[in-house]
């Protein structure tokens, strides 16, 4: 049970608002942030549990808790409204997850793939001979990248693209020499 008076609560919220008002961004001024902090604090007051904190002073416990709540809410507000534009929205993610579940429950029939690959003029069977051709023409750097990828290490996009381009070129060269 909270034993703070209304004046003490207002003083704590004022301190929290002053603490966060400098976090202005985009067209929001310090006064806008100050007011937003007040709205956040009032909307979360009923969720405060004074027994959960480590401090015995309720005013200090309330201030610590509100600072944490406000920092999180302001960060989320910024991210959702002004943050990175290429990040997918939550609704897009759920649609993607839903599509993945559909794909898992209804896989594509690939039984025809071997027949199709035989009909394609540039199809290459990945044999030991092809790997030997690739490895013999790879320099030390490409060999290290290939070994890293095959061992499951993460390659950043630059090196992954470099490796994919090298492999595509070598497969095309091998296909030309085996015609």
pLDDT, tens only, 40-51: 998 888 888 878
Which residues span the domain enclosing 25?
A: 6-82
Asked whether residue 92 is domain-assigned, the answer is no
The two tokens of residue 141 are 């750097």
Asked whether residue 168 is domain-assigned, the answer is yes
The two tokens of residue 46 are 């009923």
Same domain, 72 and 125: no
pLDDT digits (tens, 9 = 90+) for 44-89: 888 888 787 677 788 888 889 999 999 998 888 887 776 655 555 5
Closest by CA to 36, choosing from 9, 5, 55, 13, is 13
Q: What is the pLDDT of residue 85?
A: 55
Asked whether residue 89 is domain-assigned, the answer is no
pLDDT digits (tens, 9 = 90+) for 3-20: 888 899 899 999 999 888
pTM score, whole prediction? 0.46
Q: Which tops the pLDDT comparison, 14 or 147?
A: 14
Domain tally for the chain? 2
């Amino acid at each position: 049970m909270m034993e703070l008076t209304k004046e003490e609560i207002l003083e704590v919220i004022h301190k929290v608002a002053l603490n966060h008002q400098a976090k202005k961004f985009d067209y929001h001024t310090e006064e806008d942030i100050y007011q937003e902090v007040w709205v956040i604090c009032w909307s979360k007051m009923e969720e405060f549990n004074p027994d959960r904190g480590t401090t015995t002073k309720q005013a200090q416990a309330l201030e610590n808790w509100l600072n944490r709540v406000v920092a999180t809410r302001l960060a989320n507000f910024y991210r959702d409204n002004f943050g990175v534009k290429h990040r997918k929205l939550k609704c897009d993610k759920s649609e993607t997850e839903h599509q993945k579940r559909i794909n898992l429950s209804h896989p594509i029939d690939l039984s025809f793939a071997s027949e199709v690959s035989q009909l394609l003029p540039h199809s290459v069977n990945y044999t030991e001979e092809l790997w030997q051709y690739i490895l013999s023409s790879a320099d030390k750097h490409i060999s290290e990248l290939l070994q890293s990828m095959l061992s499951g290490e993460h390659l950043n996009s630059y090196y992954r693209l470099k490796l994919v381009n090298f492999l595509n070129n070598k497969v095309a060269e091998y296909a030309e020499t085996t015609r």
